Structure 1
Amino acid sequence: MKVLLTGATGYIGSAVTDHLTAAGHQVVAVTRTAVAPGAEHRPGRSWHSQVIGDTADPASLAGAVTPEVDAVIHLAPPSGEADVDAAVIETLAAPLRGTGRPFVYTSGVWVLGATGEAQEVTEEAPTNPIGIVGYRPAIERQVLAEAAEGVRAVVIRPGIVHGRGGGIPALLVERAREHQPPQYYGKEDVRWPMVHVDDLAELFVAAVERAEAGTVWHGVSESAVPVRDLARAAGRAAGVLAAPHTVSAEQTAEVYGPLFAEALALDQSVSGAAARTVLGWRPSRPGAVSELVSGSYRPVEVFGAPDGPETDAEVAAIRRLVAEVEYAQQTESVDRFLAVFRRQDPVWTTGHGKRLSGFEEIATFTGQVLPGATAESTAVYDVERVLFLRPDVAAVNVRQQPVRGDGTRIADRPEGRPFYILVKEDGTWRVGAAQNTVAVA
């Protein structure tokens, strides 16, 4: 299909562009100004063509939906004026009437308001919008009414979007970096429904391809993630190992304004099960906490490999391996720790200088020292640099910081600097050689 996409240059729009293109569709991007020649071929901009228009000026979109356009996805953020947004819907939907072509509108879970004691509310729940999205339910109804006019009208309500280093979680990271310790907003038990931006993009593809007219879908892969956990993870991404603290609504409003402050403090539990069951949506990316701790929010220096999605995927796999080392250490799991080593002749020099050769020697030592090792403290591990010596061999620098059981930094204990030689065998990265060196200030 040839898909007209508003908001194509944005955070979500870039991911949707990538996934539409990967699925064989052509993206016609609506942009306020012409993009320089060649720039449209960067990641997130693999557009078939461009149309100049501005969703703040509905008249500028007249003629954007030509007979050659097979579908419309309206991703551009709302203008803040109900009349303007309603006029945009009218302009984009009118040419689709009587054709059965899809029109997918982007709303959001904030239209549901606080869900209270209800767990994982569905698309059937009544709307109760908070102030920042006060008129959006009316826009949703306007879109869905197009189904009666022969438009395959669909509404998607994303949760809080994370991944690719962006979205509201990036705000938490920045605040942690600037105003230690990490912060979260509202009451301690606030929860956010979350979705990875690439999983959400795949839901848009599924909706434009096969969602029925007049349907609403929640783009949520994690129904209720405690914001306190997100704040702690954001601190980790910012290099701040400290317990998070809550910021009152009044203080939050002073920074972000009262409308956004209300949204940040909104407690919700929202189900995304319907899209899985009916549309076959299969969200598979890391959860929000994992993504903050060891994903795109903490940059890694990479050498010896070209920039691009293939290298990104390998680095992500390496970070997952190091995260598995951390998890095995923190949970004192001998089997999981040993699983990170290759079986054929691995070597390991411990932080105390003990040299271990071969899998059996490493296994014997680990079985003796790991149980009970975290009674007083443990450590967190962060990948800092990756050098690809070959596509299947990588040298990895890791920062190891001692922490208490609650994740706060032990200030008077030195850091470690693990160095791993990783080998990719049968598609899986494993440790071939490792050395842990104490960092002396």
Structure 2
Amino acid sequence: MKVLLTGATGYIGSAVTDHLTAAGHQVVALTRGAEPRPGRGWHAQLAGDTADPASLAGAVTPEIEAVIHLALPSGDADVDTAVIEALATPLRGTGRPFVYTSGVWVLGATGQAQEVGEDALVNPIDLVGYRPRIEQRVLAEAAEGVRAVVVRPGIVYGRGGGIPALLVDRARRKGRPEYFGEEGVRWPTVHVDDLAELFVAAVERAEAGTVWHGVGEPAVAVRDLARAAGRAAGVLAAPHALPAEQGAEDFGPLFADALALDQSVSGAAARTVLGWRPARPGPVAELVSGSYRPVEVFGAPDGPGTDAEVTAIRQLVAEVEYAQQNELADRFLSLFRPQDPVWTTGHGRRLSGFEEIATFTRKVLPGAAAESTAVYDVERVLFLRPDVAAVNVRQQPVHLDGTRITDLPEGRPFYILVKEDGTWRVGAAQNTVVAD
């Protein structure tokens, strides 16, 4: 399909462009100006501004087979209604899709209800107060022969952006992880690339008059997100809840209310009916060892192939951390290459061969995390070959609550990883204590 995409230059729009193109569709980007934007992957570019509905006249030509409206609301209900009119009217009687982007904030606080679905009554917070009316205006186009669809994303993360990036930046600036509202606040979340795949599914096969929640995880504790954001910022400290009044001073009262909103929202319908399969790492994992913590990479070309390998390497190191913190000897041992691995411990003991490593691990790991543990962060990856990588890791001792133990030195593990049968494993490792 040839898809007109508003908001194509934005955070979500960039991901939707990538996934539409990968699915074989052609993206016609609606942009405020006519200046070329090379490297965007668009089939064509049109000038128009969703803040000026009159500028959209003629944007939906007969060759446009679908419209995805991702541009941010103007803040004026009449303007946004006029935009829907301008974009949807040319599609009437064609059965072609019009997909509108709303958001789960129209549901308001979900209270004791767990994983509310698309049939829940709306109770929008003030920031999105009129958006349910826009949703209904879109859905009314189904009676006019438009395959009108509404997508409500959760809190979007991934690619180093979205609201979680605000938490990272704040932790970096303030020197501690912070969040707003009560300690039990939860956010429904979705990875931006998973969300983009939902938009593709919606434009391809969602029925007219339907609403879909774009939610990968229904209720993630914001305290956990703040802690992970602190780690992404290099700040190992307990998360600190700030009163709503502080949020209002920093972000304005409307956005502060949104940040403090407690929700539990289901995305199950899209999985069941549209076959949507969100599969990216969750927001905590993404903050801790994903796009919010850049890694220096050497010896490999830029591109999605290398990105995927670095992601797999980071996941392996995250598994090392998890196994160590939870004293899981067998899980830790499964991360080693079975053929002749070598491990030099932080105390200088060299272990040769899988059996020697296994004997040592089963002896020392149980009880090792009774009072403290450590976190592991990948800092540099050197690809010696496509299937062999040298990896520098930063190891920091932490209390069981995740705060830094300041009177213990850091470690600098160095791993030689080998990819065999599609899986990265440790071939050799050396743990080195950093001395002042």
Q: TM-score, normalised by structure 2?
A: 0.99
Quick one: which amino acid aligns to residue 49 of structure 1? A
How many Å apart are 1:33 and its aligned residue? 1.4
Q: Percent of pairs identical after alignment?
A: 83
Alignment deviations for residues 320-361 of structure 1 (CA, whole Å, 9 cap, x no partner): 000000000000000110011001111010000000111111
Which residue matches 1:7? Answer: 7
- Give the whole-Å Cα distance in 2 for the aligned partners of 1:244 and 1:304: 37
Counterpart check, 1:27 vs 2:13: no
Check if 1:124 corresponds to 2:119: yes
2:83 corresponds in structure 1 to: 88
What letter is aligned with 2:164? P
Q: Deviations over 1:15-43 (max 9, x none)?
A: 0000000000000001111343xx432xx
Residue matched to 1:362: 357
Shift of 1:440: 1.4
Residues 99-178 of structure 1: pairs in structure 2 closer than 5 A: 99-178=94-173
- Give the residue type in structure 1 aligned to 2:171: A
TM-superposed CA distance for 1:376, in Å, is 1.4
1:282 paired to 2:284: no
Equivalent residue runs for 1:65-76 within 5 Å: 65-76=60-71
The residue that corresponds to 1:78 in the other structure is: 73
Match of 1:307 in 2: 302
What letter corresponds to residue 324 of structure 1 in structure 2? Answer: E
Query: What pairs with 1:407-418 in structure 2 (closer than 5 Å)?
Result: 407-418=402-413
Structure 1 segments unaligned to the other structure (5+ residues): none
CA distance in 1, matches of 2:302, 2:169: 25
Q: Deviations for 1:172-221, whole angstroms, at most 9, x for unmatched residues?
A: 00000001210011000000000000000000000000000000000001
**Deviation string, structure 1 residues 272-293 (Cα, Å, up to 9, x no partner):** 0000000000000000111001
Question: Which segment is superposed worse, 190-199 or 305-314?
Answer: 305-314
- Aligned partners of 2:205 and 2:429: how far apart in 1? 49
Corresponding position of 2:289: 294
CA separation in 2, counterparts of 1:180 and 1:353? 34
Amino acid at match of 2:296: E
Task: Give the 5 Å matches for 1:4-403.
Answer: 4-36=4-36, 39-41=37-39, 45-403=40-398
Aligned with residue 404 of structure 1, among 399, 402, 414 = 399
Post-superposition Cα deviations, 1:142-196, rounded to whole Å, max 9, x if no partner, equal 0000000000000000000000000000000000000121001100000000000
SS at match of 1:305: coil
Q: CA deviation at 1:385?
A: 0.4
The runs of 4+ residues in structure 1 deviating greater than 2 Å are none
Cα RMSD after superposing both structures: 0.6
1:27 aligned partner, one-letter code: V
Task: Flag structure 2 segments of 5+ consecutive residues without an equivalent.
Answer: none
- Number of aligned positions between the proteins: 436
Give the TM-score, by structure 1 length. Answer: 0.98
CA distance in 2, matches of 1:186, 1:276: 31
Alpha-carbon distance in 1 for matches of 2:369, 2:241: 28
2:135 partner letter: E
* Structure 1 counterpart of 2:304, one-letter code: P
CA deviation map 1:54-111 (0-9, x unaligned): 1111111111100000000000010111111111000000000000000000000000
Taking the aligned partners of 2:411 and 2:402, their CA distance within structure 1 comes to 16
Q: What is residue 425 of structure 1 aligned with on the other side?
A: 420
SS of alignment partner, residue 38 of structure 2:
helix
Task: Classify the secondary structure of the residue corresponding to 1:401.
Answer: strand
Tell me, in whole angstroms, the C-alpha distance in 2 between the residues paired with 1:313 and 1:282.
18
The aligned amino acid for 2:250 is V
**What amino acid sits opposite 2:22 in the alignment?**
A
Residue type at the aligned position of 1:374: A
